[in-house]
Amino acid sequence: MNSPSTRTQAYAQAVAAKRRQIWLGLLVLGISVLFAGHIAEISASKFLDNIGSFASYFYRIAHLENGQWVISDPVEWFWGWKKWLALMGETLLMAYVGTLLGACAALVLCFLASKNMTQNTWVVFATRRLLEFSRTVPEIVFALIFVVAFSLGPLPGILALAIHSTGALGKLFAEVVENVDMKPVDGVLATGGHWLHKVRFAVLPQVASNFASYALLRFEINVRGAAVLGFVGAGGIGQTLLEVIRKFYYADVSALLVLIISTVMVIDALTERVRHRLLGQERAS
Partner 1 sequence: MSVLHPTHSGVAPTQDDAQARAALRARYPLHFQGIHRGHIPALLWAGLALGLFVYGAYKLDMSYARIAGGLGELGSMVLRMIPPDPGSWHRAGIYAYAMLETLAIALLGTLMAAIAAFPLGFLAARNTTINRVVKFVARRSFDILRGVDILIWALIWINVVGLGPFAGVLALFMSDLGIFGKLFSEAIEAADDKPVEGVLSTGGSSLSAVRFGILPQLMPVLLSQVLYAFESNTRSASIIGIVGAGGIGLILSEQIRTLELQQMAFVILLILATVSLIDFCCARIRFSIIGERAR
DSSP state, residue 152: S
Q: Give the nearer residue to partner 1 in terms of CB position, either 1 or 40.
A: 40
Could you tell me the smallest distance in angstroms from the CB atom of residue 217 to partner 1? 15
Could you tell me the smallest distance in angstroms from the CB atom of residue 50 to partner 1? 5
Are the beta carbons of 162 and 177 closer than 8 angstroms? no
Using rule CB under 8 A, residue 44 touches partner 1: no
Using rule CB under 8 A, residue 246 touches partner 1: yes
Tell me which stretch binds partner 1 (CB under 8 A): 105-113, 116-124, 178-186, 225-233: 225-233
Could you tell me how many residues make up the chain? 285
From CA 190, how far away is CA 208, in angstroms rounded?
A: 23
Strand partners, 63: 69
From CA 124, how far away is CA 270, in angstroms rounded?
A: 35
Among 241, 251, 255, 259, binds partner 1 (CB under 8 A): 241
Burial class (CB in 10 A: 0-12, 13-18, 19+), 221: middle
Using rule CB under 8 A, residue 242 touches partner 1: yes
Using rule CB under 8 A, residue 138 touches partner 1: yes
Distances from the Cα of 145 to the Cα of 134, 138, 151, 234, angstroms? 14, 11, 10, 10
From CA 248, how far away is CA 254, in angstroms rounded?
A: 11
Using rule CB under 8 A, residue 68 touches partner 1: no
Tell me the three state secondary structure of residue 205: helix
Using rule CB under 8 A, residue 141 touches partner 1: yes
From CA 241, how far away is CA 75, in angstroms rounded?
A: 19
Using rule CB under 8 A, residue 137 touches partner 1: yes
Q: Map residues 93-132 to x or -, x wherever contact with partner 1 holds by CB under 8 A.
A: xx-xx--x--------------------------------
DSSP state, residue 201: I
List residues binding partner 1 (CB under 8 A). 29, 32-33, 35-37, 39-43, 46-47, 50, 53-54, 57, 90, 93-94, 96-97, 100, 133, 136-138, 140-141, 144-146, 148-151, 153-156, 158, 224-225, 227-228, 231-232, 235, 241-242, 245-246, 248, 257, 260-261, 264-265
